[in-house]
Chain A
Amino acid sequence: MLRTTALAASLGLMGTLAQADTLTFYTAGPGGLADALADAFQAETGITVNVFQGTTGQVMARLEAEEANPQADVVVSASWGSAVDMHERGLLMEYLSPDAENVPDFLKHSHYVAQGISALAIAWNTQSGTPRPNEWTDLASEEYRDLVTMPDPAQSGSAFDLIAGLETAMGDEAWELLGALADNGMIVPGPNAAALNPVLQGAAAAVFGAVDYISYSRAAAGETVEVIVPESGTVIAPRPMFILESTSNADAAKAFVDFVLSDAGQALVADTWMMPARADVEGLRPGINDLNVIEVDEDAVAARRDEIIARFNETVTNR
């Protein structure tokens, strides 16, 4: 009995220790950015940031599992629609950072603001022996049979946005294209890195809907991969950052959001090869104005999330 009491007491102690002046930050990848932001923020303010980093699907699942007992203060997701959805359910705190002044209007809202922006692209292995693809539809041709991968839209928020964007631009032809890709042996191995890794080794030649910054940073690390943005258009995936209404640490949470949008924070975002949210901060790669961006009605898409995922599974995954 004594032993269990002592155990319970020491466990309780560990529990309270974790509550001290800290901020809990849930974020979609890349892990390196979350850690860099946490470290820099701590150096500036002395507030410890506990990071949980996962795919958008994992982050949202954790938030839902913890609904009765919320843990997170600040969240970054890779899917704009998830912020729209959570705001509608009244889970977000209203806050527009003064540092968001230079963020373009379509990337901010009273309750959420972009941290950075990625675009969806084709990541192509230059040593794969296949011709350089220029368009989404190229990947459905015979030359790429069994050589295309795609991130799973259920797990990758940006892959979901790509499907929604192609549907907006092409209508039902988007689904015909996905069907043709599936007929051509396209595989859906998991979230973004899982789709890219076979392409790096050469097991596949190209990723349909690669998150551009991951591929840019791999290319910078010496991998033979090229990022190709189709001229017909692509979607951008702004990554919404928001504070949960349930936070018990609103001041620290606001300070963290301010920090991410500050010069120092945006420089860290740019270092990951993403496009910074602020228009006045230079990125390492082509910016929004260099891309042909497909406009997507985020509100309408967020409401149809289940339907789109189900149709994707029907068309590609479980055919």
Chain B
Amino acid sequence: MLRAQSLLTTAAATALIILVGLPVLFILLQAVFPEFARGSLTGAFSKLVILTENDRLMMQARNTLLLAFSVMIGCLIFGLPIGILRGLFHVPGARVWDVVFLIPFLIPPFIAAIAWMMTLQPRGYLFQLLGFDMGRFLFSFTGVAFVMTLNLFPLVYFAVSRALEMVGGRFASAARVHGARPLQAFFLITLPLSIPAIAASLLIVFAMSIEEFGTPAALASRTGFEVLVTGIYTRLSDWPIDLSGAALGSVMLMAMVLAAFTLQNWIATRRSYISQTGKPADLEKADLGRWRWPVLGLFALVALIGVVIPLAAIAVTSFMGTISGGLSWSNFDLRHYEPLFRSGSRAWQALITSGWLAVLTAFATAAIGGLVAYIVVRGTGRGRAVMDGLSVLPNAIPAIVLAVGIILFWNSPYQPLSLYGTAAILLIAYIGILLPYPIRYAVARLRQISGSLDDAARVAGAGQMQALRHVTLPLMASSLIAAMMLVFAIASRELVASIMLAPAGMRTVGTFVFAQFEQGSVQTGMAMSMVAITITSGILLAVNLWLARQGSSAFSG
């Protein structure tokens, strides 16, 4: 019996080490040994002087932290008020607002940034409609932070509203029963008890802003504002390349994200503030009364800025015959969509490539992630402890860092199996980047499934593998499917690893769009984005509806 488990543990550990462990190890080696990529270990630590001599890296690190901190504040401003209102009151159309605030997740950040550029820059859409522009605001530190905030504030909105629903319903009514006034109950009970959840969501925002590539890539060169991610990208994609600098930047980036995630994990699991029984509590939400219209106005305002404007700018641009033609009906043209639906065109190939890559990634991450989760939750002994540590690793590795590690590892002179320059390398990268989602979903689900079901099967004579196949796996299926859909949605438009790793002759949706903005036509890029956003949101909506019928939500995990 134990043999089966140790076999599973070995398989899962091998997968994690190859996908994530070794690339990270090669980054560390490259950071220490500048000649490592050429197969030599001379000059150890000689490049570390970059940190003191060339303060560009330090400046990028400072900018990164400053930006992440500002985005955190921004998300608090955008997400907290509507999150509190949604959690404590009967907001008309609450379910609709939830769907609306999911949309920012579906707009690739790079596209959103270009959309804001087309809208706010001098002579942009805002000027064409209302006669003034906000170019100075957009092309500034504040502007970059603003655009990134709009991508991430829904995280805070959902975390806050869920936490308050739990706390506000139960504990606040207890306080009210004991004579507290509503505001007293809110500030003394509800808010303090919700702070861990809010803080955890802010730290995720922090980590995600540190990793974000698309927004700084689109706006940073206009603002002269460099962050670590764009710095690493430039070091690797502009000649002459600087492998050691990229590796050093990657180490700094990893350290920041790891710190944020460790803190987040500590806050989230330190003490059980919230009694989550899994049963939907009988939520007693207050009525808004005469505040109904002002509150709806606030929701509408946030939706307008966060969702409607960027989406409209993307759509409008994709329908424009010429950019210089501006906003006018005579300039309306569908021609930029034509190549996307012409079978065999490069755009069509990019859609197909991203499609099958995303499907393969979804299946592979679900298989590996499910296995890892099973061992973390159900395993015993040393194997479990090792796996617990390893499973955190993918979380802490930003996509760009993994891409750097993959180049160093799979293209190194020590590597006998050369997958670099093949489609397989992209698949490997996608799996490594997206593995955290199935692990997180499956772990959460497994913790809900009582181990006694497993034991019952074993008592009835089933082997461990049999129990896994016939009892645990079917129970995990719905959460794994939800994770697979999320993985599919993200993988189908992945940008940074794709531009760094895609072999010659291979185009994905992400690289196609990126290339359109660098060398092709903005309208074609936007048309492709529209198609990709429509497909992914359609899939996510369908799955969410399906899961809702099953009694759970894909986004509550």
A residues with CB within 8 A of B: 1-4, 7-8, 11-12, 14-15, 18, 22, 24-26, 29-32, 35, 48-58, 60-62, 64-66, 68-69, 71-72, 82, 125, 127, 146, 152, 154-155, 187-194, 197-198, 200-204, 214, 221-225, 306, 317-318
Contacts and interface: CB of A to CB of B under 8 A. Distances in A.
B422 interface: yes
B238 interface: yes
Interface stretch (B86-94, B320-328, B487-495): B320-328
- Pairs of residues from A and B, 6 with the lowest C-beta to C-beta distance, nearest first: A50-B505, A202-B123, A60-B239, A52-B504, A29-B519, A200-B323
A203 B519 contact: no
Interface of B: 7, 10-11, 14-15, 18, 37-39, 118, 121-124, 135, 221-222, 224, 236-241, 243, 321-326, 346, 364, 367, 407, 411-413, 417-424, 427-428, 502-506, 515, 517-522
Given A69-B413, A197-B323, 4 more contacts: A3-B367, A68-B412, A68-B413, A72-B504
Contacts of B240: 60-61, 64, 306
Contacts of A225: 324
Contacts of B243: 65
Nearest to A126: B324
B418 A15 contact: yes
7 contacts: A15-B422, A50-B505, A66-B420, A194-B517, A202-B122, A222-B325, A318-B224
Contacts, number: 176
A204 B428 CA distance: 42
B410 to A, nearest CB: 9
A8 B19 CA distance: 12
B324 A201 contact: yes
A155 B413 CA distance: 28
A90 B122 CA distance: 48
A7 B431 CA distance: 12
Nearest to B368: A3
A69 B14 contact: no
Given A72-B504, A127-B324, A152-B221, A191 B518 contact: yes
A35 B14 contact: no
Nearest to A53: B515
B505 A31 contact: no
A33 B18 CA distance: 39
A11 B321 CA distance: 43
A52 B11 contact: no
B423 A4 contact: no
Contact of A202 (B324, B411, B506): B324
A200 B520 CA distance: 13
Contacts of B323: 197, 200-201, 223
Nearest to B14: A4
A203 B346 contact: no
